[in-house]
């Protein structure tokens, strides 16, 4: 691994980004930084760069330092409150790009990022802060957003905030000398950083990717080239059952024709007998999505299982499963507690994924109704209820908002609504139907406290009170924070 200096090695230029890769947003790489608002992470690209010596006076929610400059507030990646630093500022259209050049007065919270790719990758945003400062930042973020409601509880942190991701994918490419490389994309680009280890990934998963990278040449698996559309292997996606030890390997290829696949499977499973299943996913589209529609099982049963809160769950390549199961158990534990179930309640598990929260709650509820958009996830949820001997849960495929509108129109009853929507939160159809259904309690699980606060404002206006809020650090080293809230009907 290459060595990289601390603090001041913020060297990448935008020119370099352009030379090496297409600049496009990669939605599928969920844990990677997206371009943030007006100040991108990218270094100077305009003509008139100025360098200013500024002192950071706060944090943005996405972990960037805030500085005041010429009457404007700018965000500076990798800068910490209290620090004085040289910052390059470039005007680009209406916006300003900032780049931390040199820290003159470091904060006591500054840490040396353990990952050598940290400043290039962008998947993590907080490795330049020590753990307690990360916790404090996330706590402050949630505290600030939840000010209109109730004071949040202390954040639930992770003892070992590394190696936690149970789902990883790496992308492959060729250098100009036609050497095979594989790793994660550099931030805001499709330039691949050749790496064997991402320290928030499951270590076994990375070892398997490393082995595959080494096998590609002899199996004539040419990396796919996004620009020319030539080549075969696009990505390798690995899912690990942290409790079960089961491992799924998904080879994402541009074509279904995989000569030598049997020998490949034999060689890979010989090297890694811990692999439970291998699939070939065909993605022949010009897309940032990792997985395509077609799938072929090459080895094993095509799914893995994992245990969460004492229940077994089946996971398929496409279905959503929380990526940090240790913290998920804490999160779900709090969510079920907040639901205050006595065994009689009708519980709606909206945005239910593979049914995890609903099935865990079903043990303490009268009945559970789950709704989820992704049909693979719904199929997994139904299988999961059978696998766990649950007979008081039903799962439906559809838009959660539309489903709730129908329930409200039919005059159906629900005592508790648990919702866990994606980052953009819920919608008015859903929330207004909650108000019509009048559940006694609403438990709102969220991976984006900003949209959670927005949606809770609606519920509070329409007859609910927020009683408790619990932040949970599900994604250490990144600026993301999860939050679960309990609302009760007045």
Residues making contact with ligand SAH (CB under 6 A): 320-322, 351-353, 356-357, 371-374, 377, 399-400, 420-422
Q: Least distance to ligand SAH from the beta carbon of 220, Å?
A: 36
In the complex with ligand SAH, which residue's Cβ is closer, 131 or 397?
397
Closest contact distance (angstroms) between CB of 323 and ligand SAH is: 10
What DSSP element (H or E) covers 379?
helix 375-387
Query: Which residue lies nearer to ligand SAH by CB, 372 or 468?
Result: 372
Which residue, 198, 273, 274, 192, is CA-closest to 231? 192
Distance CA 136, CA 354 (A): 32
Q: Is 53 annotated as a binding residue?
A: no
CB 38 within 8 A of CB 98: no
Tokens of 168: 């990883």
Kindly state the DSSP code that residue 201 receives in the 8-state scheme.
B
Shortest spacing between CB 254 and ligand SAH, in angstroms: 25
Q: Which is nearer to ligand SAH, 194 or 412 (CB)?
A: 412
CB of 426 to ligand SAH, least distance (A): 8
49, containing H or E segment:
strand 49-55
Q: What does the DSSP assignment read for 171-228?
A: EEEE-TT--EEEEEEPTTS-PEEE-S--TTB-HHHHHHHHHHHHHHTTTT-PBP-TTT
Q: How many other CB atoms are found less than 10 A from the CB of residue 6?
A: 12
* Torsion angle in degrees (nearest 10) through CA of 473, 27, 16, 172: 100
| Helix/strand/coil for 316 | coil
Torsion, Cα of 242, 397, 236, 19 (10° steps) = -120
Nearer to ligand SAH among residue 365 and residue 400 (C-beta): 400
Q: Is 447 a catalytic site residue? A: yes
Q: Which of the residues 115, 198, 309, 447 is marked catalytic? A: 447
Provide, rounded to whole angstroms, the least separation between the CB of residue 50 and ligand SAH.
43
Cβ proximity to ligand SAH, 155 vs 378, nearer residue: 378
CA distance 351 to 370: 8
Pick the closer one to ligand SAH by CB: 96 or 321.
321
SS percent in the chain: helix, strand, coil, step 5: 25, 30, 45
CB 167 to ligand SAH: min, Å = 12
- 380 marked as part of a ligand binding site: no
Strands 247-253 and 233-240: antiparallel
Q: Rounded to 5 degrees, what angle do the CA atoms 440, 441, 444 make?
A: 155
What sign has the CA pseudo-torsion 422, 143, 334, 406? negative
CB of 349 to ligand SAH, least distance (A): 7
Q: Is 78 annotated as a binding residue?
A: no
246 annotated binding-site participant? no
> Is 209 or 407 the residue whose CB approaches ligand SAH more closely?
407
Can you tell me the distance from the alpha carbon of 309 to that of 328, in angstroms, rounded to the nearest whole number? 9
Contacts of 382 (CB under 8 A, 6+ apart): 355, 395
Cα–Cα distances (Å) from 307 to 314, 321, 332, in that order, read 9, 11, 13
Binding-site annotation, residues: 322, 351, 372, 420
Binding-site annotation, residues for S-adenosyl-L-methionine: 322, 351, 372, 420
Residues recognised as catalytic: 447
């Amino acid at each position: 691994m290459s060595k990289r200096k601390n603090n001041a090695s913020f060297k990448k230029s935008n020119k370099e980004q352009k030379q090496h890769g297409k600049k496009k947003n990669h939605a599928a790489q969920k844990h990677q930084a997206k371009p943030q608002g007006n100040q991108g992470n990218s270094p100077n690209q305009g003509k008139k760069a100025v360098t200013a010596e500024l002192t950071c006076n706060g944090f943005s929610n996405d972990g960037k330092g805030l500085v005041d400059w010429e009457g404007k507030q700018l965000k500076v990646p990798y800068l910490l409150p209290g620090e004085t630093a040289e910052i390059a500022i470039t005007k680009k259209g209406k916006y300003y790009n900032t780049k931390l050049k040199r820290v003159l007065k470091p904060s006591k919270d500054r840490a040396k990022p353990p990952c050598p790719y940290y400043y290039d990758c962008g998947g993590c945003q907080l490795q330049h802060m020590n753990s307690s400062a990360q916790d404090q930042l996330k706590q402050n973020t949630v505290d600030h957003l939840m000010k209109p409601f109730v004071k949040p509880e202390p954040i639930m942190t992770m003892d070992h905030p590394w190696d936690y991701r149970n789902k990883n994918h790496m992308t492959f490419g060729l250098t100009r000398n036609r050497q095979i490389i594989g790793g994660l994309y550099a931030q805001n680009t499709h330039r691949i950083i050749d790496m064997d280890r991402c320290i928030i990934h499951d270590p076994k998963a990375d070892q398997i990717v490393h082995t595959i990278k080494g096998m590609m040449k002899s199996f004539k698996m040419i990396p796919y080239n996004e620009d020319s559309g030539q080549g075969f292997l696009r990505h390798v996606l690995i899912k690990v059952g942290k409790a079960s030890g089961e491992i799924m390997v998904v080879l994402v290829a541009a074509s279904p024709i995989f000569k030598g696949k049997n020998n490949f499977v034999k060689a890979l499973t010989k090297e890694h007998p811990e692999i439970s299943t291998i699939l070939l996913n065909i993605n022949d589209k010009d897309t940032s999505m990792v997985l395509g529609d077609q799938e072929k099982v090459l080895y094993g049963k095509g799914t893995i299982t994992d245990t969460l809160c004492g229940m077994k769950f089946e996971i398929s390549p496409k279905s959503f499963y929380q990526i940090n199961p240790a913290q998920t158990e804490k999160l779900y534990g709090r969510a079920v507690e907040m639901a205050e179930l006595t065994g009689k309640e009708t519980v709606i598990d909206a945005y239910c994924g593979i049914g995890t929260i609903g099935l865990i709650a079903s043990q303490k509820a009268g009945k559970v109704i789950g709704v989820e958009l992704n049909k693979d996830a719904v199929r997994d949820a139904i299988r999961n209820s059978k696998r766990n001997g649950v007979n008081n849960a039903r799962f439906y495929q559809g838009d959660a908002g539309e489903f709730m509108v129908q329930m409200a129109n039919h005059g159906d009853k629900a005592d508790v609504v648990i919702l866990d929507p994606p980052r953009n939160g819920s919608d008015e159809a859903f929330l207004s139907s909650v108000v019509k259904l009048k559940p006694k309690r609403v438990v709102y699980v969220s991976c984006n406290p900003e949209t959670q606060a927005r949606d809770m404002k609606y519920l509070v206006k329409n007859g609910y009170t927020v009683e408790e809020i619990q932040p949970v650090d599900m994604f250490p080293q990144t600026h993301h924070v999860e939050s679960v809230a309990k609302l009760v009907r007045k």
